[in-house]
Structure 1
């Protein structure tokens, strides 16, 4: 992303909202949810750390439906978020997937908005459908180390030339893609010409070839045909300037087929009212689908002014005209009417789907109309000739019968990248995966305007802010002990294993004047929430850490915030410091300690305070690590040896303090440290 692009996108920001306001005159939904356009909204905790799928508009959402449903089935433990740019795509996503996904708008591509977007959502992997890439979006994905997969990707010659022309402005965006699954070889070659490396791209086909029409939808369409008992022609996804041509063709058709019914489905919902006026202006009687009205014998037009029903209309029609083709819009995808076995008529302008239409034309699977008169004639020929309709249906279906499999191929591509982000995806799928720790199971609670709480919705039937105060548990006679260090942590007898309540305090010289306030930051990045989420991810990797139960962020008056966390107690476990005060560890136990530290390091986990107080052994000898405040993931480097050195210093420090206080501390570097090191190196 170039400096000029960053300046330009910021300068254009007011124009974006002016556009949304003006568009809202016809489609009021464009005037809603503006905070999302700048990523200023609150994103719930149970949408974090999941998979983001971006479908810019309705077409991409429809094409990806089967793929998204397969993703939801394959990764039930992960949150899935769908983003889009238009209200119609938002409405369709909510209609198709309900509460199985979280939906939001992709924000405007300013650096600040995209940074907030990735900080709040924290996706593991991003999937972009077709060709919707933005420089700021890709830069933030790269900074957050999030792989971006461009799936079902297509690139027209016109789009390629546009990207090449403005590459000086956008920068090397194509090189930032992790993987590209192209629809065909032509698109793949164009992507490589733009800069995608050949080892990061493959031809996978078109997701729409895998479209499966639900049996219940076909049954409803058949029932509608039987109910109406009249010839039905469909004009789907029509644009401004095209509706008039369609209505002219239909009035000509009525001269020969007076009982014909036109189902007219405009492409954009903000045009529904205007198209209804055009129908009335032609003297045609109509009903609107949105009014739940069915056409009577005297109605000639049924206005399809709802969302998400286009496949149903295709299935109900005897013949379909695919819009955007009588005018120079490039046409729309004909694969949906092919899936419903509906004969296709198209205008000449189909450059958006040139290859598909060429194949259809080659086998006689499409009829062409250059204007309204020819459209009327094509409709008439097809309505009058059932054998012709059947021949076209069979030819179109047969031509693309061998092209299925794109969904499976792209799911495999996704899985290869998910394996690196979600290790449990290697060997856990289906119902077993739902039992894994996941942010999807976390509930967000806001008891007051200055407080946000995350808690495990499976562990607690309900939750109260009082759970973070020791006095509450003391009144319940639930406090069973405490641990002291920089501050007191309370052991609470609640649940099967009990809980540990810890308040976050400042250390060092700062702590003498500022006991427990931290500089304000994004809630997800705050001390308690960050540790809660990190523990979730570590348990997902099956690393031995305590189970996080709840975390609280409380905005302090005037400045800063305070934080608390609840974690499950590790049963019958004692820390290394306490054990060494009682007895010497066995050689096997030292090797186990070293081996577990290596497990964390191999997973890229940096423990900022690896010392003998934060390593625990339970009654069975299992080694655990605790207290992950200010910890996180890092690439392999010198920090791993520095981590071990920190542990060694802590052992030396405690041994010296014990000697000075004349108490036992069973630690000898020459005897014990080589054993730990052998365990770390995997040696027996």
Structure 2
């Protein structure tokens, strides 16, 4: 047995040993989000008997990846109207996002655990012509199955940060052979190209195609959602939206809101937690801090007495950004590394982010160069930066317009990715 096969076997053995732990994790998570204990058969590769075979599989792990992949999936449905398109996720929130976007336009299930017999069963039932993975979804057993079965394998929006590269190098015996089984690796920026090549990927496989996240647009469906949400908010309220918050990130926003509220009584703070299991905790935090809040799930209109609107529903961050006067993109006030600032930029909104935008380093730099974003040097600056934008409407509009210009100037990754897939499937 050669070194590569031995490495893969050791990895598969380790994953198999960890199955009880993985199941325990799913059960524990299901205490706060019961969806984690549902459809467990899919985690082991079992699909319904009516699944359509011979199509294209796109894997987008969670909500962020599903949103980023949407333009690509939309174009797939147009380019291959006669092929079944299957979209897989790992998380229930990602699953809910797929269902919200596509209803019955695509097939959907969870991607199985990266265990040999699970992956084998999954591919035997689905029989895809091509598999498309997003960003850093590198699953050695799945990749090996595609290679052995002559299934075209494409990585789109490829991302490998300097931090991940350092970690992956410790597993180079496993990761490097997997990378070179891809038909093509399409990266979102030049530094990611360098990182994949440094990781051992063949330079001929790796291309810089730009970031799919720029390929967003205001669809009719999104415009309808925006119009629906507008009915809940009076025109005189000025919305300060804090999107995709994680544990501890609401506190800086609440503290800043306290400082601004007296001089801006029409200000409405909108908190959008990233994960559903935190909805109740965020609501309770608002109560503890003495704010009069209202939840989106209550479906009640905002009154002048309401200080905070907690969006405790899924799939409404983008239309909420459209209603905002200023948008704060969270994940950047903690060690998470930030979330997508292009989503509010689509609506020409001024965007503020915290210190840590490691996940969107290239995008943040482009926005900063164009004066299309405000990044804090320290999170304590939030209230001061908000005050400047609230007081200077021309400045706020300028930052927002510059951000939208960056979005429009960098679109095109979707069409280039589709063209690559078309060449592979000829």
Q: TM-score range by the shorter chain?
A: over 0.9
The alignment's C-alpha RMSD in Å is 1.7
Per-residue deviation, 1:13? 0.5
2:346/2:407 contact within 8 Å kept: no
Per-residue deviation, 1:121? 0.7
1:207-606 → structure 2 map (5 Å cutoff): 207-215=212-220, 217-218=222-223, 221=226, 223-224=230-231, 227-370=234-377, 373-419=380-426
Per-residue deviation, 1:304? 1.0
**3-state DSSP of counterpart to 1:99:** coil
**C-alpha distance in structure 1 between counterparts of 2:221 and 2:102, whole Å:** 17
1:39/1:116 contact within 8 Å kept: yes
Per-residue deviation, 1:365? 1.4
> Do structure 1's residue 95 and structure 2's residue 100 form an aligned pair?
yes
**C-alpha distance in structure 2 between counterparts of 1:101 and 1:220, whole Å:** 21
**3-state DSSP of counterpart to 1:264:** strand
1:324/1:330 contact within 8 Å kept: yes
Aligned to 1:178: 183
**3-state DSSP of counterpart to 2:371:** coil
2:55/2:86 contact within 8 Å kept: yes
The CA deviation string for residues 191-222 of structure 1, in whole angstroms up to 9 with x for no partner, is 12222222222211111211111256347646
The CA deviation string for residues 330-383 of structure 1, in whole angstroms up to 9 with x for no partner, is 111211111111110010111111111122222221113355642122222212
2:236/2:266 contact within 8 Å kept: no
2:47/2:125 contact within 8 Å kept: no
Aligned to 1:151: 156
> Do structure 1's residue 61 and structure 2's residue 61 form an aligned pair?
no
**3-state DSSP of counterpart to 1:16:** helix
Per-residue deviation, 1:41? 3.8
**C-alpha distance in structure 2 between counterparts of 1:379 and 1:258, whole Å:** 14
One of 14, 24, 34 as aligned partner of 2:40: 34
**C-alpha distance in structure 2 between counterparts of 1:118 and 1:99, whole Å:** 21
**C-alpha distance in structure 2 between counterparts of 1:304 and 1:151, whole Å:** 31
Question: Structure 2: which 5+ runs fail to align?
Answer: 1-6
2:176/2:200 contact within 8 Å kept: no
Per-residue deviation, 1:235? 0.3
Aligned to 1:44: 50
Question: Structure 1: which 5+ runs fail to align?
Answer: 420-684
One of 135, 139, 146 as aligned partner of 1:141: 146
> Do structure 1's residue 5 and structure 2's residue 28 form an aligned pair?
no
Task: Choose between structure 1 and 2 for higher RCO, CA contacts under 8 A separated by at least 6 residues.
Answer: 2
1:639-654 → structure 2 map (5 Å cutoff): none
1:326/1:370 contact within 8 Å kept: no
2:232/2:302 contact within 8 Å kept: no
**3-state DSSP of counterpart to 1:378:** helix
**C-alpha distance in structure 1 between counterparts of 2:47 and 2:422, whole Å:** 30
Aligned to 2:3: none
**C-alpha distance in structure 2 between counterparts of 1:27 and 1:219, whole Å:** 29
Question: How many residues end up aligned between the 2 structures?
Answer: 418
**C-alpha distance in structure 2 between counterparts of 1:268 and 1:364, whole Å:** 31
One of 3, 14, 21 as aligned partner of 1:15: 21
**C-alpha distance in structure 2 between counterparts of 1:98 and 1:142, whole Å:** 31
Per-residue deviation, 1:386? 1.1
Per-residue deviation, 1:44? 2.0
> Cα gap change, 1:299/1:371 in structure 2, threshold over 3 Å: closer, same or farther?
farther
The CA deviation string for residues 58-95 of structure 1, in whole angstroms up to 9 with x for no partner, is 11110111111111111111111000000000000001
**3-state DSSP of counterpart to 2:180:** helix
Aligned to 2:4: none
Q: Greater shift after overlay, 175-184 or 246-255?
A: 246-255
Aligned to 2:31: 25
**3-state DSSP of counterpart to 2:86:** strand
**3-state DSSP of counterpart to 1:236:** strand
**C-alpha distance in structure 1 between counterparts of 2:424 and 2:195, whole Å:** 24
**C-alpha distance in structure 2 between counterparts of 1:125 and 1:350, whole Å:** 33
TM-score (norm 1): 0.59
Per-residue deviation, 1:2? 2.2
Per-residue deviation, 1:326? 1.1
> Cα gap change, 1:128/1:220 in structure 2, threshold over 3 Å: closer, same or farther?
closer
**C-alpha distance in structure 1 between counterparts of 2:210 and 2:124, whole Å:** 33
